[in-house]
Structure 1
Amino acid sequence: MIKFFRKIRYNLMEQNKTSKYFKYAIGEIILVVIGILIALSINNWNEERKSSNTEAQALVELLEEFKINYKDLLRVEDHKLRAEKKIRRYLDFLNNDSIPIKEKNYIVSGLAGNTWNMTYSVLQGLITSGAINNLKNDSLRFQLNNWDGLKRNYVELQEYYSNVSIIDLKKYLRDKFPSSVILPDSTFSNWGNYNYESKDELEQLAIKFVHDMEYQNLLKEALFRLYIQLNGIHLLKQNHNKIVALLEEEINNKK
């Protein structure tokens, strides 16, 4: 097309038709500009399509990642709920005077372990690379950024419970009482260097163990830490549901 206009311009120049020459020259310039604009539009459209496809794939991977981690969170929540109930029942048991000392003479088990070992590699990759800022849905972007903070806060609560509350409880019992008192049916050796020759002395220690205020306070501390963790899990579940709903909506919109 441009060659066609150029040939016409040359003919007009040879025929000294200056007015028409300039008109065709302007027309040729306009055609070039239009061609450039069309090419840019097509290129921009292709880039937007690639970006949209990349975002759609990231959203699908994020959704799968959240669903996998949610299942593990529910497993941990179930364990924490059972541990909380155990401590509450045990404390009521210890303070019930109608129950014989021998029946109270044991330690509550199953309080440690079962931590939430989540993996958010897709989300972390989006945050680290800054690609999360390219997400078009403002609500989703906000929830994902907020989720990272909620997750870290819960992990701190979880680690404090496992590394401080439970360890303090075990250390206190290990240093204070022999295993023959707190684990009367166990075949393990004593936790400390104790030599009790008298059965009466062991019985007195059993009574002391059952009524030991510091022991009960450590149990209450563990109970409180479990309660905080369960509140943290509740908050995580609420935000998880919001994120999943937004992800599913965005994925459907891009189909």
Structure 2
Amino acid sequence: MIKLFRNIRKKLLSEGKTNNYLKYAIGEIILVVIGILIALQINNWNQNRIENNRARKLLKNMVEDLATDTLMLNRSIANYEFQSNNCVKLLNDSLFVDTKADSIFFMLPLNQMGLLLTTQAFDKINNASLTSLLGSSELDQSISEYYITTAEYAEKQFTWEEQRTNKDEDFWLNALEMEFPQFFKVKNNPNYIQSEPERKQELLRVISSTEGRQRIRYALDRKQIMLNTMKTRKETAIDLISQIKKHLSNE
């Protein structure tokens, strides 16, 4: 093709048709520019198509991440419900006639959980600067709210809960004059020096004290706050899954 254009230009020059040569040369330049622009447009289209496909794949991965989050949140919800119920039992039952000392001890609100989120897809989207290709601004805002705004708030709550629980643990371990049960069963567990009635009496003594009951009440409030936080995050995750699926189906 280039050789053909060159021959045409030579022929026009040899025939002295300068004006025609200039017109032809300009036309040839325009054609070359148009060709370059078309090639660039095709390249951009291909690049956008590749990035859009990648964004779609990452959104599908995000749905899987969110599904994993809901499972973890279910465990957290069950844990905080369990601890809340135990706090109520400790406050309402002053005798625990049919409950052994170890079982009463494990009812104390000393358990805490960390915030676990699956963020692989979200991190990849951020690192690849694909946020502008996620779809509507509403979807982008919902994703940012779940992975950044509410996650930071939940993390602060977990830190607060952890700090308060650690202080409560110090109180119970210092206030109780008894041997504490094994957290993990081992072969041939060692016997306690105190008898079962003595250990139970000591537990109930501290639990029924003013400070003991106050600690349990405050712990109950915390567990309820964390429970509501986990339920809200679960609802947000489910709603975000619905938004992403709707966006993917509309494309």
TM bucket, shorter chain = 0.7 to 0.9
TM-score of the pair, normalised by structure 2:
0.77
TM-score of the pair, normalised by structure 1:
0.76
Distance 2:228 2:144 in 1: 20
Aligned twin of 2:209:
212
Residue identity matched to 1:166: T
Distance 2:79 2:70 in 1: 14
CA shift, 1:223, in A, is 0.7
Aligned twin of 1:117:
116
CA shift, 1:218, in A, is 0.4
Unaligned runs of 5+ in 1: 95-99, 191-198
More displaced, 142-151 or 226-235?
A: 142-151
CA shift, 1:73, in A, is 0.8
Aligned twin of 1:195:
none
Q: Deviations over 1:14-62 (max 9, x none)?
A: 2223333233222212211221111111111111111112212211222
Aligned twin of 2:224:
227
Q: 1:188 aligns with which of 192, 204, 207?
A: 192
Residue identity matched to 2:12: L
Q: 1:135 aligns with which of 133, 136, 155?
A: 133
- C-alpha contact (below 8 Å) 1:2/1:28 kept by paired residues: no
Cα distance change of structure 1 residues 110 and 72 upon mapping to structure 2, 3 Å threshold:
farther
CA shift, 1:124, in A, is 3.0
Aligned twin of 2:178:
179
Residue identity matched to 2:27: G
Residue identity matched to 1:211: S
CA shift, 1:130, in A, is 6.0
Q: Deviations over 1:81-122 (max 9, x none)?
A: 12112212331334xxxxx58679844616414544333233
For residues 39-78 of structure 1, the aligned pairs below 5 Å read 39-78=39-78
Aligned twin of 1:97:
none
Q: Deviations over 1:110-148 (max 9, x none)?
A: 641454433323323434x26253334222222222222
Distance 2:6 2:174 in 1: 100
- C-alpha contact (below 8 Å) 1:87/1:108 kept by paired residues: no
Q: Deviations over 1:200-241 (max 9, x none)?
A: xx97x6775353111011001111111111121122123212
Distance 1:207 1:239 in 2: 41
What is the DSSP-based 3-state SS (H/G/I as helix, E as strand, rest coil) of the residue aligned with 1:179? coil
Aligned twin of 1:238:
235
How large is the RMSD of aligned CA atoms in angstroms?
Answer: 3.2
Percentage identity across aligned positions? 23
What is the DSSP-based 3-state SS (H/G/I as helix, E as strand, rest coil) of the residue aligned with 1:222? helix
Distance 1:32 1:208 in 2: 93
Distance 2:46 2:96 in 1: 78
Distance 2:128 2:5 in 1: 49
Residue identity matched to 1:231: N
Cα distance change of structure 1 residues 132 and 109 upon mapping to structure 2, 3 Å threshold:
farther
Residue identity matched to 2:218: E
Higher relative contact order (CA 8 A, sep 6+): 2
